[in-house]
Amino acid sequence: MPVRERCALREMTEADLPLVLSWHNSDSVRRYMFTDGVITEAEHRAWWKRTSVEDASRHYVFELDGRPSGVVNVTGLDCIDGTASWGLYLADNDAEPGTGSAMAWLALSEVFGPLGVRRLLCEAFAFNEAALRLYDKLGFRREGLRVAHRKHGAAFEDVVELALFSDDWERLATSLAPVVFRG
């Protein structure tokens, strides 16, 4: 379990793109992504060119001990409805236990704090048990199951829809911090 002072969330920059692309294309990350094919550098740069200027998107790099260790993408920011979606993943490394929880905690504090989101949405493959356990721990509500919804490899997989509300996060954040961070 990481110490809070060792963790940071910062905005992604263009300089991060090669590292983020290598993480995304690693087998350990790609097997859980909705786009499970290898992404080319040109595709990745086109994504960044488009999304880095959108008001409705924010992209972050999570650092542990000053070393980039994960990514958080917040998309579909809607200031009228107060909604957004997110996706996150750790780099293909041997992160210490609890690193994903620390990254998610920092990201949720950003989403429900400075970004002013009221309701955060996400989706995960039903077979991604680690992600679903994390979302449960963070207070997300399971709102739906889309059966055989996304093609992944050769099969169509079920997708779980989840949401977390800002008032639920406000109640949980303080009590969850000692569970996520030690010291």
Residue 88 has pLDDT above 90, yes or no: yes
Residue 183 is predicted with a pLDDT of 57
Distances (CA, A) of 87 to 3, 6, 103, 126, 171: 23, 22, 12, 15, 22
CATH number of this structure's domain 4-180? 3.40.630.30
pTM confidence score: 0.94
pLDDT (0 to 100) of residue 135: 97
Domain borders along the chain are 4-180
What's the mean per-residue pLDDT of the chain? Answer: 94
